[in-house]
Structure 1
Amino acid sequence: LKAVMTANRYHFVHCHSPIGGVVGRLVARQTHTPCMYTAHGFHFFKGSPSLNWMLYYPVERTLARLTDTIVTINEEDFSRAQTFKTSHTFRIPGIGVDTKRIEAITIDRTLKRKSLGIDSDTDFVLLSVGELNENKNHETIIRAIASLKEPTLRYLIAGTGDNNDHLERLIRELGLERQVTLLGFRDDVIEVMKASDCFVFPSKREGLGMAALEAMAAGLPLITSNVHGINDYSIDGVTGYKCSPEDASGFARAIRTMQLDFDLSHQMGLHNSESVKAFDVDRSKTEMRRIYSQFLQDKPT
């Protein structure tokens, strides 16, 4: 990378991801290249494990000294980055949600639900979208559903990952084969959202959470964890409900409340389809253009 940057003499480098952020900023320092870094969610945050603070926090704090501009995507990270020794710190509304595209997608809800194995109009369909791993925390929702013993609840999980076999075993052990379905990879996620009744997002950590924002744009109420970037848009009692990531009982109560009160969940979904526009992709692009413009003014070529 040092050879590439030396040969091409870039006006500046914009780093992303933890490893790319480390390598890119070290080489930028060695080659005297102006450097910008977007943090797509620090691994240290309120409630995160102590090990995350011991490992990641000192690295980010130290590398901030080598960074001309840090861009964050949630309020907690923005506040933290402002304590670092860097020239400029900005916050953008994530990479942005294409709300117009999502709004334009239409489905035959009955046919779509049938294609997903849901034959009854009275079933209440929960949906999660995300990699099958420990952080996405699908197991907590599966256990919450098992505790409710309500056969009209259906839980769809779209995604692939290392936890697939573990989740399949758990579903069998709890006798939820009819209620919980692992959909695997889907290229029709927005259509599946529009065939669902509620979006569940129990992650232990999220820089922001594009899947939940897309669900809001699709008009769904949310049931989320109360951590990190999710807190930027998930408001308890307004967008839906929030629980601690490991609180299966709390998630169960939220699910049951949402299922029983159609008017409430419907109003929350309508609210979400409007409030999510604060995270629209056009706004993100406008913010990044402004940041690039200021960056280049500060670092003339």
Structure 2
Amino acid sequence: MKKVLLVTTVSGFVPQFQMHNVNILQKMGYEVHYAANYNIPSYGNDNNRLDGTGIVRHQIDFARSPYTKQTIIAYKQLKQLMKKNRFDLIHCHTPMGGALARLAAKNTNTKPVIYSVHGFHFYKGAPIQNFLIYQTMEKYFAHYTDVLITTNHEDYQAAQKFKMKENGKVYFVPGVGIEVEKFKNLTLDKRKLRKNLGISEETIILLSVGEVIKRKNHETVIKAMEKLKRTDIVYLICGQGELEEKLKNLTDELGLQNKVKFLGYQEATPYYHMANIFLHPSYREGLSRALMEAMAVGLPIICSKIRGNVDLVDNKGGRLIEVEEIDEYAKAILELSNNPKLRNNMSTYNLEKINQFDISNIDLMMEKIYKKSFD
């Protein structure tokens, strides 16, 4: 049986975002292998979502930072894995996984190589060192890439300037896609959900979904909550991460213990349905799946005015705010909280717009790319 190798730095990436691609490859008759660091799973606490998928797992000792000897160890492990298995295609994701997989593929003559970039680390407004380091790195590794897939228009334009491998191609695929109908048609007892969290029917629920890390910028919304001086608005954060304790302390300092609730890692779908407004204040995104899911439920959006977010949200479906403008976030929260009709109009608009990002459309694009790569 022909074999495909997927490569990501952390092991939770494929079950969280790439199972549709796994299914496409398996239906095409390929055995799917997955190289990642299974000791840092992410998007949950273990790797059990990979059980029963037919995916062959390979431990690679990736580190998140390139500035460690683990980088050399991980590269050697990947190179040995490719020599042993002679894969028919490599599809890599994440900066470290993508860089080391492409270098190992070059030095083992493994091809073709696809790299999906889920948001370049250099972008409008990024620190200058991001351009010096990450843009230089991406340009270099483009020479060893047969197919480069971008998920938003800013990254697509940037990738057009790279010098790819001979006959290499750059594609635009709008994100990983979502099952729109799955989110639209879910029936839940919203009153019971609110009651379980001690939230009244009259309270406006703000929701964010994502890792509790600096990049997601929950701190800005928490500080905006302090400015509102409202007892009928509560902010729910679905996710876990290294900043959770720090943000809980900030919440205590600002006297927001009853207004900000940290829910930890959760299946977020029920919380989308009980919320009134979705907040997505990230510093950086590729094309956010959480943002797409919120739109599929019909939530009005308040989000940062950054690459990826602007591909999804416009003024008809929400409000775009500069990343650290605490006062503007507070203003937007008040505007939407006080205007049910505006929220309803935004909901209707987002329910229609999100259809173009349905997983069925993304699957067709990816199947065509895979078939072209194997030709």
TM-score normalised by length of structure 2: 0.77
Q: 2:359 aligns with which of 274, 281, 301?
A: 281
Equivalences for 1:139-150 in 2 at 5 Å? 139-150=219-230
Q: 2:238 aligns with which of 137, 152, 158?
A: 158
Q: 2:203 aligns with which of 102, 123, 147?
A: 123
2:18 equivalent in structure 1: none
Cα offset, 1:8, TM superposition: 2.3
2:173 equivalent in structure 1: 92
Matches of 2:117 and 2:266, distance apart in 1: 27
Cα offset, 1:105, TM superposition: 1.2
Equivalences for 1:184-203 in 2 at 5 Å? 184-187=264-267, 189-203=268-282
Letter in 2 for 1:251: Y
2:109 equivalent in structure 1: 32
Cα offset, 1:112, TM superposition: 1.3
2:28 equivalent in structure 1: none
| Structure 1 position 254 matched with structure 2 position 332 | yes
SS for the counterpart of 2:334 is helix
2:293 equivalent in structure 1: 214
SS for the counterpart of 1:275 is helix
Q: Higher RCO, 1 or 2 (CA under 8 Å, sep at least 6)?
A: 1
Matches of 2:221 and 2:81, distance apart in 1: 47
Cα offset, 1:151, TM superposition: 1.2
Matches of 1:152 and 1:70, distance apart in 2: 47
Matches of 1:97 and 1:37, distance apart in 2: 20
- The Cα offsets for residues 28-76 of structure 1, whole Å up to 9 and x where unpaired, read as 1112222111111111000111121111110001110111110011111
Cα offset, 1:122, TM superposition: 1.7
Matches of 1:109 and 1:70, distance apart in 2: 42
SS for the counterpart of 2:216 is coil
Aligned length, in residue pairs: 294
Q: 1:22 aligns with which of 79, 95, 99?
A: 99
SS for the counterpart of 1:228 is coil
SS for the counterpart of 2:303 is strand
Gaps of 5+ in 2: 1-77
1:41 equivalent in structure 2: 119
2:187 equivalent in structure 1: 106
Range with greater deviation from structure 2 (174-183 or 5-14): 5-14
Range with greater deviation from structure 2 (194-203 or 46-55): 46-55
1:239 equivalent in structure 2: 317
SS for the counterpart of 1:286 is helix
Contact map agreement 1:93 1:283 (CA 8 A) in 2: no
Percentage of identical aligned residues = 38
Cα offset, 1:296, TM superposition: 2.0
SS for the counterpart of 1:135 is helix
Matches of 1:9 and 1:160, distance apart in 2: 38
Contact map agreement 1:106 1:191 (CA 8 A) in 2: no
1:230 equivalent in structure 2: 309
- The Cα offsets for residues 97-131 of structure 1, whole Å up to 9 and x where unpaired, read as 11121122111221111112202x22111000111
SS for the counterpart of 1:157 is strand
